[in-house]
Amino acid sequence: MLCEECRKANAAVFLKLAVNNKVTELHLCPACAAKKGMSLGLETGAFNISDIVGNMSGYFKDFLPAERKALRCGSCGLRYGEFKESGRLGCPECYAGFEPQLVQLLDRIHGASRHTGRTYAGGPAPKLSKGEAARRLAALRAELKVAVAREDFEGAARLRDAVKEMEGRHGRP
Amino acid sequence: MDALKGFRPYVTWANARGAWPEMIFSTRVRFARNLQGFNFPNRSEPRQLAEIRRLALAAARETGLFPRGHFIKVETLTALEKGFLVERHHVSHALAASVLPSGAAVSNDEDLSVMINEEDHLRLQCLNAGFAIEDAFRSALKLDLALGRELPFAYAGNFGFLTACPTNVGTGMRVSCLAHLPALSRLGSMPQVLENLSHLGVTARGIYGEGTYVLGDFYQISNATCLGRTEEEFCQNIDRVIRNLIRQEIAAREALLKGPARLKTEDAVYRALGLLRHARSLSYEEFMQNISLARMGAAMGWNMGLDFSTFNQTTLLMQPAHIQAAAGRVLTPPERDAFRAEYTRKKFA
């Protein structure tokens, strides 16, 4: 199936949204999806539908049935459903990705959802091994490429800084 | 057994110390911590786990809190060596079962340790002898602060220290006391006591922690939640609960010495002592049942021939992996039981 936007590339992104009891379907190619400002993160397998819906409009979001939200962590790609099965989150970013759900859960577990204990100002960046630094640098460069293709200049600038910082700390491979 | 060279048979945290040494074996405070920028262990690839272990072991060395300590790659150990570290409470059963890159840093006198790549990247702990919540908390916090200066911990203002399981998020702290409650057990009061504890935000577990069964009437009492209160408040709550438990155990011991119950109690204790003094084969379970009674007898003022430090150290040394470490080789279960009986006989002679 061709992309409904450009009618050139094959559609790879399929969105099915229920609005006012009417189902709206959208078939897009990754480039058009990206142009629409949808941060799909397909390269890493991360797909955060709440981001997409958030970017489209608050109106859509309100009518999206809860069970249709294939909620995923934008960083590690863990699906909320997987977390519900295993009880284990995938990475520290999951807490931001699943914040509303976790607040409810934490209230049930701990009788509270806000930390009131010791605070932490942060620690130094870890001294990564050459291999790990090179892998991370390659991943950052790949993300940068996608951001540029997507004309997401703000994101690209941030990633360029991150690449420079990594190169500065660990050297250009 | 090379990896265990440098581990002494006796540890200072098993000495009798503090108030009620006959009831509180040890106190432990642990913090769950993770590194920012890495997936949690369950979602990390082996090479990332190896990287985390390298960083964590290097950071532990940098803190200066592990002079002449042990820095261990756990998956490279034999089953017996892993078993020894589990029995010493430096490594969990779950970590010992893993074949992925994992580690442990253990201080020379074994009061401080860091378990690497279990459910969280780091589980750092302080183990102290007796009832010592304040001391154990201060030492664990010192280790936490030192490691937090070497590594970037995953932390968010609203949720606190971020952990793989939301049950540990917030302070990431668990404070626990290993309590010996034989009289409450004998009176059949433990189900009610445990039920009451669950309403106080407190959990009771077996001797080796989560999912382990109760041996020799030893219960690990710890906070069930760790978010929404300060570290000090969680410590104070456990302190209150433990003091209350001790009062209940004392009352139960008095009940066991009143009227006709006294003869039954005395008979049970001295039969246990007879068994420890004369048995030729002792399984770990049987040993624990009987040393529990003898320990209670000593607490009631009867001469069992051992002081509480020796009770504690003997309890530690008679565990299955410890027996084999002492023998210097892998033993079959019947060989272990014979070795245990021989050692116990000599101790109680």
Measure the CA–CA gap between B203 and B222, rounded to whole angstroms. Answer: 5
The residue among A15 and A117 whose pLDDT is bigger is A117
Which chain B residues are closer than 8 Å to A98 by Cβ?
none
Position B37 pLDDT exceeds 70: yes
Find all residues with CB under 8 Å of B289, minimum gap 6, and list them. Answer: B216, B272
Least confident interval from A5-19, B31-45, B67-81 = A5-19
| In this structure, CATH architecture of domain B2-252 | 2-Layer Sandwich (3.30)
pLDDT tens readout for residues A2-34? 777 777 777 766 554 444 444 456 677 766 665
β-partners of residue B91 are none
pLDDT for B349: 87
- Give residue-wise pLDDT tens across range A129-140: 888 888 889 988
Give per-residue pLDDT as tens, B118-136: 999 999 999 999 999 999 9
Q: Residue A110 is nearest to which of B148, B156, B170, comparing CB atoms?
A: B170
β-bridge pairing B173-180 and B112-116: unpaired
Q: Which of residues 39-58 of B touch A (CB under 8 A)?
A: 39-40, 42-43, 47-48, 51, 54-55, 58
pLDDT at residue A171 is higher than 50? yes
Question: Do the chains contact at B225 and A86, CB–CB below 8 Å?
Answer: no
Place of tokens 């410890």: B322
A83-102 mean pLDDT = 96
> What residues does each domain of chain B span?
2-252, 260-348
Per-residue pLDDT band for B208 (boundaries 50, 70, 90) equals confident
Average pLDDT, chain B: 95
Of residues B61 and A51, more confidently modeled:
B61
Q: How does DSSP classify residue A125?
A: P
Kindly state whether A92 is in contact with chain B, defined as any CB-CB distance less than 8 angstroms: yes
Query: How high is the pLDDT of residue A46?
Result: 36
Inter-CA distances, A95 with B14, B49, B139, B210, B290, Å = 39, 21, 29, 24, 48
Report the pLDDT averaged over residues B108-114: 97
Percent of residues, chain B, with pLDDT higher than 90: 91
pLDDT at A172: 64
Per-residue pLDDT at B206: 82
Radius of gyration of chain A (CA): 19
Say if CB B162 and CB B31 are below 8 A apart.
Answer: no
pLDDT > 80? residue B69? yes
CA dist., res. A80 & res. B324, Å (int): 45
pLDDT at residue A70, rounded to an integer: 78
Whether residue B301 contacts residue B247, with contact meaning beta carbons closer than 8 Å, is answered with no
Interface test with A, best of B35, B38, B40, B174 (most A CBs within 10 A): B40
Question: Which B residues 157-216 touch A at CB under 8 Å?
Answer: 157-162, 164-167, 169-171, 173, 201
**Nearest by CB to A88, which of B40, B171, B225?**
B40
Mutate to test the interface with B, among A89, A99, A129, A165 (most CBs of B within 10 A): A89
> Worst-scoring range by mean pLDDT, A54-63, B23-32, B223-232, B322-331?
A54-63
First and final CA of chain A: distance in angstroms?
41
Q: Which amino acid is at B77?
A: L
The DSSP element (H or E) to which B123 belongs, if any, is: strand B122-129
Asked if B230 lies within 8 A of A109 by C-beta distance, the reply is: no
Q: What are phi and psi of B173, to 5 degrees?
A: -105, 140
- Between B14 and A36, whose confidence is greater? B14
At residue B254, the pLDDT reads 97
The residue ranges of every structural domain in chain A are: 13-63, 66-110, 130-170
Residue A69 banded pLDDT, cuts 50, 70, 90? low
The C-alpha atoms of residue B145 and residue B63 are separated, in whole angstroms, by 9
Residues paired with residue A38 on neighbouring β-strands, in sequence order:
none
Total Cβ atoms within 10 A of residue B315: 22
Q: Which of A120, A135, A165, A169 to mutate to test the interface with B (most CBs of B within 10 A)?
A: A120
What is the tens place of the pLDDT at every residue in B249-300?
A: 999 999 999 999 999 999 999 999 999 999 999 999 999 999 999 999 999 9
- In this complex, is the C-beta atom of B137 within 8 Å of any C-beta atom belonging to chain A? no
Instruction: Give A91 to chain B, closest Cα distance, Å.
Output: 4
Which residues in chain B touch residue A124, judged by CB atoms under 8 angstroms apart? 149-152
Using a 10 angstrom Cβ sphere, with 0-12 exposed, 13-18 middle and 19 or more buried, the burial of residue B165 is: middle
Angstrom distances, CA of residue A63 to CA of A19, A20, A124: 5, 7, 44
Q: What is the ipTM of this complex?
A: 0.90
Predicted local distance difference test score (pLDDT) of residue A127: 87
Mean confidence (pLDDT) of chain A:
75
pLDDT at A65: 42
Count other C-beta atoms under 10 Å from residue A128's C-beta.
19
Would you call B105 helix, strand, or coil by DSSP? Answer: strand
Residue A82 CB contacts under 8 Å (≥ 6 apart), including other chains: A90
The fraction of chain A above a pLDDT of 70, given in percent, is 64
- Residue A30's H or E segment, with its range, is helix A30-35
**Residue B87: closest CA among B209, B3, B217:** B209
pLDDT at A168: 81
Q: Give the one of B154, B162, B230 whose C-beta lies nearest to A117's C-beta.
A: B230
Span A114-123, average pLDDT: 95
